[in-house]
Amino acid sequence: MKLVYLDNAATTRVDPQVFRTMRPYFTQKYGNPSEVHSLGRQAKEAVEKSREQVAGMLGCKNAEVIFTGSATESINLSHKGLIEALLPQFQNGRRPHIITSTVEHKAVLETCAHLETLGRAKVTYLQVDKYGMVSIYDVRKEVRPETVLVSVMYVNNEVGTIQPVSQIGRLLKAINHERTHNKPHIYFHTDATQAVQYLDCGADKLGVDLLSFTGHKIYAPKGVGALFVKTGTPLIRQLDGGDQERKLRSGTENVPYIVALGKAVELSQKSKIKRQKEMERLRDKLIKGVLEIPGVSLTGHPKIRAPHLASFIVEGVEGEALQLLLSDKKVIVSTGSACTSQSLTPSHVLSAVGIPAELAHGSLRVSLGKDTTEEEIGYTLKVLREATEKLREMAPDLSELRGAFATI
C-alpha cells in the first residue's frame, strides 16, 4: 500500500495544477506589483485575478479581499485592527467587548487574550455543548452595550462540528438594527479555514463582516491566506511600511503564492456538491468502521459536521503512540490539532466538550482529502484495529500500578 495521507485538516499537498500555475511567477513573471513597468504590471494583474477568484467564492467585491501570509495573520489583523480602530469611541474606563467561544483556534483565543492583557478589550468565552456547538441563545445573552465583535469559527478544526454561523449572523443583524446611535455596531468574524472547500462561504449568506482562511488547507502552499473585510468595517493595519492591500497589509505581495491561492480557490469550487457527497460517503464509512472497534467513541456532532473530518477517543491508548504506529504502516493521521500537538496538555477543544484529560490523550483525528479512495479507507480501518489492539496489549495494568504505588 502506498502512503495513505489522512491529515488534510493539518495541511494538504499542493495540487499539481496549482503548482503549474504559480511556477512562472518565480523565474519568469517575477516583477514587483508596485512597479509600473511591464513585469510589474504583469504581476499586478496576476494578483488582481486571484483577488477576483477569491471574491467570487465569497460573493463579495474584489476590494473586500485582503491577502495575508496565513489565517493566523488574518485573524490578528481582523481582531487587533478592529479593536484598535474602535478604541477612541470608549471613554472613562469603558472597553470594547468581544464574544468568542472556548473551542476556537488558538489564533483567535490567544489574540483575544492578548487584547485583554493589554487592557484594550474585555472578552467573554462562550461554553459549548458536548458536541462542541455554540448556542445562539448564549450569544444573545452575552451581548452588552460595549460588544463590538463576535468571533465564532465555521468548522471546528479538531472535532469537525459545523457552527450555526448564518444563524448568528442573522441574530447580530437584528441586534444591530435595534441598536441606538450611542451603542457601537457589532461586527461578526468567522474562521472559515476548514470550511471553504466544502461549505457555502458566501459572506452575505453567513452575515459576516470579517472572514479568514488559509491556502494550505485547500491545496495551495503554506504561507498565504486571505481576509474578507466588508466595506465600512474599520481596521487599523498591524504591519507598517507600505500601502499594499488597500493600505491594510504592508509588504510586497507574495505573488506566486497569491496566484496559487486564487487557482486553489477556483479548483475548489468546481464540482463542489458532487465532491462533498463523495467525501461524506467515505467519511461515514470510516466512522462506522472505527466505531466497531471496542472502546472507541466519536467526538463532535454526529450529523452536523464537516464532510472531510472525523475525530475519535480511543480508550486505553496514547494518541501519539497510535499515530506513530499507524505511520509505520504508511497511514498518516493526527492526534488532535497539529497547531497544538507539541503541547503535553490535553486539547482545549476536548476539554471544553467535557472529555477528561486521561481520555483526551487518546484522541485521533482523521481528515480526508480530494484524492482519498475507498481502498485507503478500508486499509486504514484494518491497520487501525491492529494498532489499537497491539497498544492495549502493551499497556500496563493500571490497577497493578496503583497497587504498587500504594506500597511505596
Q: Which residues are catalytic?
A: 339
CA nearest neighbour of 195 among 107, 108, 276: 276
3-state secondary structure of 303: coil
Give the closest residue to 211 by CA, choosing from 172, 258, 154, 157. Answer: 154
C-alpha cell at 336: 488532535
HSE-CB of 168 using CA atoms within 13 angstroms: 30
Q: Is 188 helix (H, G, I), strand (E, B) or coil?
A: strand
Distance CA 268, CA 16 (A): 13
CB atoms within 10 A of CB 19: 16
* Residue located via cell numbers 483577488: 51
Contact 195, 154 (CB under 8 A): yes
* Cell, residue 231: 466595506
Q: Can you tell me the distance from the alpha carbon of 408 to that of 404, in angstroms, rounded to the nearest whole number? A: 7
294: Cβ–Cβ under 8 A, 6 or more apart, which residues?
Answer: none
